[in-house]
Amino acid sequence: MEQKIKTLSDYKSNIQLESDYMFSFFLHSHTYYEMTLYDPFEGNITVNDYTVSPDTLTAILVAPSYFHKGTVNGKCGKYRKLVFGTEMLQENLIPNTSIVLRNIEPESFFVRIYEEIFQNAGNEEYKKVLINAAVCIMLSYGEKLMSFKGRNIGFEAIRIINDNFDKPLTLSCVAKQLHITPQYLSNAFKAEIEMSFSAYLTSVRLHRAAKMLTETKESVTNICDACGYGNFSNFLRSFKKTYGMSPMTYRKQNKA
């Protein structure tokens, strides 16, 4: 998963489809809608400060700029994700918040819509009609997940990290951008994100590095630079601590 905030210009299609087994993913946000149908799994999806545990067939529509993350604690299930922009929706069907739809029946009309979308992946206009139908169901029967109220320093820092992790970043420089002290940012980050600033920054950079190792032919040195590490030795040490192997071993094993 990209850790930068993405737009639909990053994709080849105005409607992006994705289907795979559920995995944990880092806290992030983006500028488009993301509607995902989750098979039951052991874990949860967090949208801003609202936590959903999909122990039944569940759909979650994440609105633009909403932070969300996924945690898998045990048995995982499949997910089917639709990514689309506001321009794909009818004016009266544009959600102003995120939505969760629980306890979906496997033979329901909503599930049939999803199946039809994936079976007609190459037909953009037909997919657009189906997505509007699915969003209409979410709006009619789902539960709205409202946005945070007030200023949330930790989440503002997350936005800066996600968009600039490939550059030199420190607690002090991010605090300066937010017009607060480093100590205040450190405390707010731990309280809201439940991990330290440095731990989150490292996790974003290493996740990007792992993705580049398996999806590109860039050298390890170039990947180190592209992920914001100014010191190659620190990058190697940090990568091995997290993944239990060197970057080259990781590349060979995952490409195989």
Residue 23 pLDDT > 70:
yes
Same domain, 96 and 160: no
226 and 132 share one domain? no
Q: Are residues 158 and 140 in the same domain?
A: no
70 and 119 together in one domain:
yes
pTM of the full structure: 0.64
What confidence tens digit (pLDDT) does each residue in 53-76 have? 999 999 999 988 788 899 999 888
More confident residue, 49 or 112: 112
Q: What is the arithmetic mean of pLDDT over 126-134?
A: 95
Mean pLDDT in residue range 102-121:
94
pLDDT band of residue 174 (cuts 50, 70, 90) is very high
* 142/15 Cα distance (integer angstroms): 22
- Residue that finishes a domain, picked among 145, 164, 191: 145
Does the pLDDT of residue 90 top 70, yes or no? yes
Domain presence at residue 20? yes
What average pLDDT does the segment 78-104 reach?
92
- The tally of domains found in the chain comes to 2
**Tokens 């996790």 map to which residue?**
203
Whether 247 is covered by a domain: the verdict is yes
Q: What is the pLDDT of residue 187?
A: 86
Percent of the chain with pLDDT over 70: 92
User: Which of the pair, 120 or 135, is modelled with greater confidence?
Assistant: 135
Distance from C-alpha of 83 to C-alpha of 2, rounded to nearest angstrom:
14
| Residues 206-226, mean pLDDT to the nearest whole number | 92
Identify whether 1 is part of a domain: no
Give the Å distances, CA to CA, from 189 to 6, 111, 136, 151, 254.
Answer: 23, 38, 36, 12, 33
Q: Looking at the domain assignment, is residue 3 inside a domain? A: no
Listed in sequence order, the residues at least 6 apart from 129 whose beta carbon sits closer than 8 Å to its beta carbon are none
Mean pLDDT to the nearest integer, 65-88: 89
Q: Residue 40 corresponds to which amino acid?
A: P
Query: Is pLDDT above 70 for 118?
Result: yes
What is the mean pLDDT of the segment spanning 90-103? 92
**Structural domain span for residue 107:** 8-145
| pLDDT at position 219 | 94
Q: Are 190 and 229 in contact (CB under 8 A)?
A: no
Flag whether 104 is in a domain: yes
Count of C-beta atoms within a 10 Å radius of residue 123: 14
Alpha-carbon distances of 227 from 67, 78, 122, 184, 216, rounded to whole Å:
22, 29, 34, 26, 14
Q: Does residue 239 surpass a pLDDT of 50? A: yes
Residue 183 domain flag:
yes
Burial of 161 (0-12, 13-18, 19+ CB in 10 A): buried
189 in a structural domain:
yes
pLDDT, residue 147, reads 58
Helix 232-243 with 247-255: angle, nearest 10 deg? 50
The whole-number average pLDDT for the span 3-22 is: 60
137 plus 158 within the same structural domain? no
Contact 25, 31 (CB under 8 A): no
> Does residue 214 form part of some domain?
yes
Q: Please check whether residues 19 and 136 belong to one and the same domain.
A: yes
Going by their DSSP bridges, the two strands 98-101 and 58-62 should be labelled as antiparallel
Same domain, 30 and 131: yes
At CB < 8 A and 24+ separation, what contacts does 227-236 make?
Answer: 227/165, 227/166, 228/165, 228/166, 228/167, 228/168, 228/169, 229/205, 230/168, 235/209
pLDDT for the residue numbered 104: 96
pLDDT tens, residue by residue, 142-160:
999 865 544 578 888 888 9
The whole-number average pLDDT for the span 10-18 is 65
At 12, is the pLDDT very low, low, confident or very high (cuts 50, 70, 90)? Answer: very low
